[in-house]
Structure 1
Amino acid sequence: MHLSAHKAAHREGGFTLIELMIVIAIIGILAAIAIPKYEDYVRTSEATTITQDFHGAVTKVTAAEAQAQAGVPHTFATPTIAAPAGASIAITPATISAGGTPATVTLTGPTSTAVQTDVASMLTAMNVSAASGTTDTANVTANGSVTYN
């Protein structure tokens, strides 16, 4: 009787190889599902940030044009904005004044083709005609009208 009690105590002490392999297989399946979803999430997040930054820059330039027409010139402290995925947004000229050159906001596209495709579709959804290349431009005139190229 002492021998069978010793066997029972020894058997409850750990996991079998098959149990460990089942756990590893389950972790592998979960990782195979989660990693691509995470990469999609990151790509969509980068595209959303780029699109919102571009739209925000156009809005700021439109407000600066209105301010300039009221006689108060506006200078952008950082006329170039670094965006995710290698994209950048540039505002030219850096100083907007009444009667000056119409302002231009240029989005130089992300280095990732997947992010670039998402940005193009997001801009299209915002009724902004996205360019076919890697550069989108918004021209803001003194009266506040915006045209996209």
Structure 2
Amino acid sequence: MAGHTDNEIIIDAPMDLVWDMTNDIESWTDLFSEYAEAKILRRQDDTIVFRLALHPDENGTVWSWVSARTPDPATRTVRSQRVETGPFKYMWIYWEYLPADGHVRMRWVQDFEMKPQAPVDDKVMQDNLNRNTAVQMRLIKDKVEAAARDAAPIG
């Protein structure tokens, strides 16, 4: 069995601002609440290889991993996968940005499978991801919309 999530949110901001803010990996510690570190390790053509680390969990464990992310500004899509998979057999993420009546519909699709020795199974991880994605998307929406308001001309 494998896990699959598909979540989206409407952001009331210009497409370029949404795209730029959500693809600036080095600022993800400010954009997301879960990341303590977001460090670019290297760039290979259009692909960015980077390390993410979460804030310590209740046991003091810091989970981190390396991912490769390839944004395509022409199609406003991003494909990403974990290079260091940790408890996952694989984790693939697809981001899509679509115009929506003057707003941006940002969508994240995650396909994954947990390793047999992982602390949770596919269903539990899917539920965790769906729950946390909603929280993170809402934070991103609020921060991007605030940046759009701050950049808007007065008058």
Select the structure of larger CA radius of gyration.
Answer: 1
TM-score (norm 2): 0.29
TM-score (norm 1): 0.30
Q: Which structure is higher in strand share?
A: 2
